[in-house]
Structure 1
Amino acid sequence: MSAGIAYLVGAGPGDPGLITVRGMACLRAAEVVLYDDLSHPDLVEETPSSCERIYVGKRAGFKAKSQEETNALLVEHVSQGKRVVRLKGGDPYVFGRGGEEATTLMEAGLDFEVVPGVTSGFAAPAYAGIPVTHRGVSAQVTLVTGHEDQTKPNSQVDWEALGRAGGTIVVYMGVGKREQYARLLMAGGLGSDTPVAAITWGTRPEQRVARGTLGSLHELDIVNPAAIVIGAVAGMELDWFSGKILAGQAIAVTRTREQSSELVRLLRESGAEVLEIPTIEIRAPESWTPVDELIGQIDRFNWLAFASPNSVDRFLGRLIGKKGDVRGVGNVKIATVGPATAERVSAYGLATDLIPENHKAEGLVDALLEALTVGDQVLYPRAEAGREVFPERIREAGYSLEDCVVYRTVKPDSVPQIALDRFKDGRITLLTFASSSAVWHFDELMRAEGLGGTVHGIPAASIGPTTTKTATELGYSVRVQAPEDQVTVQGLVDSILGYLK
């Protein structure tokens, strides 16, 4: 049995893009992950499908794990020779109890590694437009926990001394006892008019900033998790985050994880909270034999037609595996249904000879029929459940067409718990659908969870008319559709921005 190891990974303050490269690498190689609600759910989804995911936070329907129980789980799984990630909000060693977990592992004689993270005490103020140091305003920063009971004689925080020291004070976990420590800070010398800013869910799209003064801190409407900034810099408003077009929007992305990255990136860059809900798993065909036989005969085909990026990846990947490199395609011409599919072709160093103006199967048929000459033969790699309009019309026109299944789409077994919670809480403001199969699978999954009526009441955005038709027939209200001359992820995002402006 190989030696196990624990990685105490700082997940960052909330925005999943702020995790370190090393932290992401640990997640993607994990065999077990222990996580809580301070880690963005998308980070947990970065673990392999075989990874055991253990929730150790506090959520309705789950028995909260004590720190001692979490420590025991770490020891148990590392002792079994597994790569274990303890995913922790912010930085493991900044009010994250990472030191306790490291001590437990060391005492047990087990290997561990600490992967630092971006702490919320610096990141949350930055996203709220507050520099924690600023020339001529503040030259020092104190990070302090506000969770302790300041009335106890053994309190580790001397609040009056902090009040005398001045500078910038960032309080973690300081919502509940803010009136107590504010009074002590003022007793130490800070004025009641000292600016304060409380940042809830910092760096995430649902971030909220409440501003006031030290004397009125107890009156501010704030809840945990919050970072409370006290000092002159808290009066600064160098805002760049809250004014984004999609700020305040929570958008569900329903497609394969492999295909959702660009859509997720573009939506997040515009300020949205994005919830990824994998509704499709791409799997190999039942048999590669028909595909391999046609790859061996590719020289007899004049045209190679692709109706999706998936068909490009699956077919060309198989061809390269069989023939050694992409030159195995020979002199065949390539037709794609649209620019997104053509982009996948170009990723293999190949040029696309034909892209129709109408980015649908019907448009591809019409354009190809104009290009075909007598005796031409067409090879069409496709999905198992793909539409029949393309092969049927090519054959009806008298041309020879061979098709082969290069991938299947199947419905995942379940929906991530965090997604179900968001729908039940009514926090999702828009659904996105990028294929008919995504709509079908999403609808089945939601109905199985008793949420069919809930999701049908949420506005939806569709990538094209075929997907819109499917969604509408199933009872969804499609308010947004990508233009028919731009059936791409960018076209979908542009339409969403126009709708939500």
Structure 2
Amino acid sequence: MEDQVPGKVSLVGAGPGDPGLMTARALELISRADVIFYDRLIPPDALSGARDDAELIYVGKMPGTVHNPQEEINRRIVDAAREGREVVRLKGGDPFIFGRGGEEAEELAEAGIPFEVVPGVTAAIAATATAGIPLTHRDDSAGVAFVTGHRDAKTEQGIDPDGSLALFPGTLVFYMGVKRLAENAADLIAGGRPADQPAAAIQNGATPKQRVVTATLGTIAAKVEAEGIRPPALIVIGDVVRHHSKLAWFGNRPLAGRSVVVTRARHQAGKLAAMLRGQGADVIEMPVIEIQPIAPDREALDVFARGEIDLICFTSPNSIDRFFEVIGEELEMDARDLSTWVAAIGPSTARKLKEYGIRADIVPDRAVAESLLGKLVDDGHADKRILIPRAQEAREVLPDGLRQVGADVTILPLYRTVPVSPEPEVLKKAAEADAITFTSASTVKNLLAAVPDGLPGLVNVSIGPVTSEAMRKAGIEVSAEAEQSDLNGLAAAVAAALNCEPGEAEL
């Protein structure tokens, strides 16, 4: 039997904790991997793009514990590659900056395993940027040094035995610097660094939970202790810290310090989550529904195939994606074969049509079935042959109303929504959030199916009147409703409901 050709290992930097700062190459490799070994400090939802059949193995380390020793991690990575599998080793920050990526790469090289290294945005770069602290500055610093705050485990020497670090003419950034901060600061002062030089501690940098405290080198340890700053945190020492008060921007965003639950299906949650994160929110993705395709009704599909349709009404982006998937697979047709009028229930659905090169002929002012029905009647389409691709279970307002005015309506069910039970850990976080968003009646129904008592105490924000009606019927108070029934309107409604000035949410 021939020897197994080893797979490749990719040592991938996942960045500082913001999923928006992950590189395109990192996301590509995650989507292709057979197995992913991941650390504790990777961004939320960093693994959401992994294949359904990918093996996800947690190898994180908590400070002060002996779990997942590095030698064992190295062995497991090599073993997986020797099985011919494509392996991603996903590490917070950058693999080669205090990430032990060099040790893992050496192990792979010695084992003859092909590998690549994908850089990530390291915490020192990201956290200082979000804190408004430039690492270099024409007036204050011509260089920067990244330093570990740990002491040599073998010698227990201080961080600066010869005084050279204290005299470094630039900015010092300490990783893992909280535990020994008082000792390290004392060493630097003893080596000649001014005790009154500005210093900062940045906890959970570049994430919605970021905290920044400033002091001087001589007082930073006491300030960190008093303010309860805990790992993961960086310590920044240098004159550049003085710019923080003027340049800090991260905490000034509308939803900074607020947490928001998104209940959309996982594959749809990304855009709304990105909008909210862009406003500074800590987003908790808790999908309570899943979109499942169903076999199309052949008779209804044949009506379209024979050209016996004058107008197609799309009532959601899901219906558009599934419709073109079905006509491609079943009829070998695509958007170029549409010779009908096209209606979209609202702006989000119209934007989805544009992705297929189609401009909607009819879009009502409000994204509800009642408004689309009125628009179709007013525009003279009451006598048309109309196709409605949609979910298996949906409101009958549009088809019933069209039939009442004389339209010949064909319904084409293409998918169904099924409930998803939130994981206990996610549900626990959601219960402590500030707000929760509902984007459809299905999200309302399925949340209560999973959590009968709901999530009391949260601000409940609805995407539009139909969803609001479902919330009220279910006994959920509607705290706010989007003026515009799309994701932009929903993001703005969240900010307004939390008494924040909404910023630009459009993506």
Q: TM-score with structure 2 length normalisation?
A: 0.90
2:445 is the alignment partner of 1:437: no
> Corresponding residue for 1:459?
459
> Corresponding residue for 1:231?
238
Does the 8 A contact of 1:179 with 1:218 survive in 2?
Answer: yes
> Corresponding residue for 1:263?
272
Does the 8 A contact of 1:30 with 1:85 survive in 2?
Answer: yes
Does the 8 A contact of 1:31 with 1:50 survive in 2?
Answer: yes
Long gaps (5+) in structure 2: 501-507
Report the alpha carbon displacement of residue 319 of structure 1 after superposing the two structures with TM.
Answer: 2.7
Does the 8 A contact of 1:291 with 1:406 survive in 2?
Answer: no
2:11 is the alignment partner of 1:8: yes
> Corresponding residue for 2:505?
none
Report the alpha carbon displacement of residue 475 of structure 1 after superposing the two structures with TM.
Answer: 4.0
Deviates more, 1:66-75 or 1:399-408: 66-75
Does the 8 A contact of 1:41 with 1:418 survive in 2?
Answer: no
2:30 is the alignment partner of 1:32: no
CA deviation digits over 1:338-394, x for unaligned, max 9?
121122223222232222233211222232233446753211111011112222222
CA deviation digits over 1:248-307, x for unaligned, max 9?
11112111233333322221221112222233322221345345323312x222221111
Using the alignment, how far apart are the partners of 1:39 and 1:291 within structure 2?
Answer: 47
Q: Partner letter of residue 435 of structure 1?
A: S
Going from structure 1 to structure 2, the CA distance change for 1:52 and 1:444 (only over 3 Å counts) comes to farther
> Corresponding residue for 1:174?
177
CA deviation digits over 1:75-118, x for unaligned, max 9?
23222211121111111111111122222222332222111111
Map 1:51-70 to 2 at 5 A: 51-58=54-61, 64-70=67-73
> Corresponding residue for 1:89?
92
* Structure 1 segments of 4+ aligned residues over 6 angstroms from their partners: none
Does the 8 A contact of 1:456 with 1:477 survive in 2?
Answer: no
Using the alignment, how far apart are the partners of 2:195 and 2:438 within structure 1?
Answer: 52
Using the alignment, how far apart are the partners of 1:268 and 1:358 within structure 2?
Answer: 26
> Corresponding residue for 1:495?
493
2:332 is the alignment partner of 1:337: no
Deviates more, 1:161-170 or 1:100-109: 100-109
Cα RMSD of the aligned pairs, angstroms, is 2.5
Q: Partner letter of residue 431 of structure 1?
A: I
> Corresponding residue for 2:126?
123
Using the alignment, how far apart are the partners of 1:295 and 1:367 within structure 2?
Answer: 23
2:281 is the alignment partner of 1:272: yes
Tell me the matched-pair count: 488
Using the alignment, how far apart are the partners of 1:153 and 1:434 within structure 2?
Answer: 56
Map 1:208-223 to 2 at 5 A: 208-220=211-223, 221=227, 222-223=229-230
Specify the SS of the correspondent of 1:8: strand
Map 1:470-485 to 2 at 5 A: 470-483=470-483
Specify the SS of the correspondent of 2:371: helix
> Corresponding residue for 2:504?
none
Q: Partner letter of residue 480 of structure 1?
A: A
> Corresponding residue for 2:399?
391
Out of 302, 312, 327, the position equivalent to 1:319 is: 327
> Corresponding residue for 1:365?
373
Specify the SS of the correspondent of 1:300: coil
Q: TM-score with structure 1 length normalisation?
A: 0.91
Specify the SS of the correspondent of 2:186: helix
Does the 8 A contact of 1:312 with 1:345 survive in 2?
Answer: yes
Going from structure 1 to structure 2, the CA distance change for 1:73 and 1:295 (only over 3 Å counts) comes to farther
Does the 8 A contact of 1:356 with 1:363 survive in 2?
Answer: yes
Going from structure 1 to structure 2, the CA distance change for 1:375 and 1:229 (only over 3 Å counts) comes to closer
Report the alpha carbon displacement of residue 482 of structure 1 after superposing the two structures with TM.
Answer: 0.7
Specify the SS of the correspondent of 2:88: strand
Using the alignment, how far apart are the partners of 1:218 and 1:291 within structure 2?
Answer: 71
Map 1:243-322 to 2 at 5 A: 243-287=252-296, 289-297=298-306, 299-321=307-329, 322=331
Does the 8 A contact of 2:142 with 2:169 survive in 1?
Answer: no
- Percent identical pairs in the alignment equals 40
Does the 8 A contact of 2:438 with 2:460 survive in 1?
Answer: yes
Q: Partner letter of residue 417 of structure 2?
A: T
Does the 8 A contact of 2:300 with 2:410 survive in 1?
Answer: no
Using the alignment, how far apart are the partners of 1:481 and 1:381 within structure 2?
Answer: 27
2:422 is the alignment partner of 1:415: yes
Q: Partner letter of residue 286 of structure 1?
A: A
Using the alignment, how far apart are the partners of 1:417 and 1:117 within structure 2?
Answer: 31
Specify the SS of the correspondent of 1:163: coil
Does the 8 A contact of 2:159 with 2:184 survive in 1?
Answer: no
Using the alignment, how far apart are the partners of 2:66 and 2:427 within structure 1?
Answer: 18
Going from structure 1 to structure 2, the CA distance change for 1:41 and 1:164 (only over 3 Å counts) comes to same
Going from structure 1 to structure 2, the CA distance change for 1:31 and 1:288 (only over 3 Å counts) comes to farther
Report the alpha carbon displacement of residue 156 of structure 1 after superposing the two structures with TM.
Answer: 6.8
Q: Partner letter of residue 77 of structure 2?
A: L
Going from structure 1 to structure 2, the CA distance change for 1:249 and 1:290 (only over 3 Å counts) comes to farther
Using the alignment, how far apart are the partners of 2:341 and 2:277 within structure 1?
Answer: 38
Using the alignment, how far apart are the partners of 2:43 and 2:129 within structure 1?
Answer: 19
> Corresponding residue for 1:114?
117
CA deviation digits over 1:7-60, x for unaligned, max 9?
111011111111122111111112211222210122121212222212222579
Out of 48, 51, 57, the position equivalent to 1:48 is: 51
Q: Partner letter of residue 437 of structure 2?
A: T
> Corresponding residue for 2:469?
469
Using the alignment, how far apart are the partners of 1:105 and 1:217 within structure 2?
Answer: 41
Using the alignment, how far apart are the partners of 2:162 and 2:397 within structure 1?
Answer: 73
Specify the SS of the correspondent of 2:90: strand
> Corresponding residue for 1:347?
355
Does the 8 A contact of 2:291 with 2:415 survive in 1?
Answer: yes
Q: Partner letter of residue 295 of structure 1?
A: F
Specify the SS of the correspondent of 2:449: helix
Map 1:144-159 to 2 at 5 A: 144-148=147-151, 152-153=155-156, 158=161
Specify the SS of the correspondent of 2:219: helix
> Corresponding residue for 1:202?
205
Report the alpha carbon displacement of residue 205 of structure 1 after superposing the two structures with TM.
Answer: 1.3
Does the 8 A contact of 2:463 with 2:481 survive in 1?
Answer: yes
2:42 is the alignment partner of 1:20: no
